[in-house]
Amino acid sequence: MTDFSQLVQPDRGGPAHAIHLVDKDSFDGWAKQQSPSRRALVDAARFDGKKGFEFLILPTGQGDEWEVVSAVANVADLSPWCLARLAEALPQGRYRLAEGDPGPAMLGWMLGQHRLNDYRSSPDPERGARILLTQQASSIEQAARLAEATAMVRDLVDRPAADMGPADLEAAARALAKEFGAKVAVTSGEALSQGYPMIAAVGKGAEAERAPRLIELRWGRDGAPRLAIVGKGVCFDSGGLDIKPASGMRLMKKDMGGAAHALALARLVMAEKLPVRLHLLIPAVENSVSAASYRPGDVLASRKGLKVEIHNTDAEGRLVLGDALAKAGEDQPELIIDFATLTGAARVALGPDLPATFANDDGLAASIEAAARRVTDPVWRMPLWDGYDEMLKSDLADLSNAADSPMAGAVTAALFLRRFVPEGTPWAHFDTFAWRPSAKPGRPKGGDAMGLRAAFAMLEARFSA
């Protein structure tokens, strides 16, 4: 893991290249203050402060010293990503803002220098660290923890499914528990079949070395409010017997993105020592095709006691989450949060950047939305529309795992999950993509954390008050 805390350091007044930030409103004023020779260079480069993340290196007129001018969206309100392009592209060295302090932009500066290189025979050449200096030394640690959690999601999701099966998710949970003094319990085999029949059914088509399991991590002091975090850990999703086409299967290594988010959120909760009793649950399976695979038309028992008719074996994530949510609710938590790469319908509705967020409590939903705005980690609330519950009716069992209609797919999936949450328990569900289809500064193409920082900011506000 990148040592993020070394990429931003306290400013003790040593030499560093200055970074001037301008936006479309402040550019003209800045440009008028430049010497004729510097203004000529700016004009020659056609730099006008209006082109997003463009930057320019300018001589200072003192020997071989130089500084940077960079365009941002809003000088007065820096985003987490406004310095990320600089962190990716500038030469090795030490930098400081000419005016003000980086604040939330520390995060992008850190993450702009992180890459997973485990699968390259010739990794990108080491260019040395770009170090940003700040007067806000007390903010460095939390920015580094946010960067570590984000990088954790990215690295787990980016790994090929061959290296990220149920046992590997268990290993990640055990490593996290060791780091923070938590306890891990794993249910598998016959105990899984008896106690969590939907998890067992979805995973029984996989080979023995990729057998299904429920991973649980517990941390915190007695008497603190209980917080349950659940993450969908489908380590590869072929679709089962309702097999996906090749185009739909290509990215299915990322179907454990919910588990990656849950692990990362648990890391933040423990690293920040939030006063909670944490219960992390990850149903880890591979939805494979074999003679043992569960079938369309099967009726599955569940931990909650509901019987579920299988309309589509490719709607497996809600099944494993259903058993995990039922277990989470047994401890009567004050709050349940789940993350899942659950539906293509959420992506059709909101695209890749916006996690579809559902909540059974308006106050909880409002706190998530406020936190998302505060930390620039966007989410979009979707409705738990009671009228669509009838789409999950089964002629044979208590409910179906998918609707006959192609409409409202994200909503009906969330309504299915709601059946397994205890009535009266606040619950939020993030249907997140966990993948960035094209690169942006500080956010390379591939696995990414979406909704993670918003959820943590909400938890901080809720439990630190």
* Active site members: 244, 318
Amino acid residing at 409: G
CB 102 within 8 A of CB 109: yes
Q: DSSP characters for 132-199?
A: EEES-GGGHHHHHHHHHHHHHHHHHHHS-GGGSSHHHHHHHHHHHHHHHT-EEEEEEHHHHHHH-HHH
C-alpha distances (whole Å) from 128 to each of 91, 95, 99, 150 are: 8, 13, 25, 21
Burial class (CB in 10 A: 0-12, 13-18, 19+), 129: middle
Checking 184-191 for CB contacts under 8 A at 24+ apart, the result is 184/215, 184/216, 184/217, 185/216, 185/218, 186/213, 186/214, 186/215, 186/216, 187/213, 187/214, 187/216, 188/212, 188/213, 188/214
Q: Is 300 helix (H, G, I), strand (E, B) or coil?
A: strand
Burial class (CB in 10 A: 0-12, 13-18, 19+), 56: middle
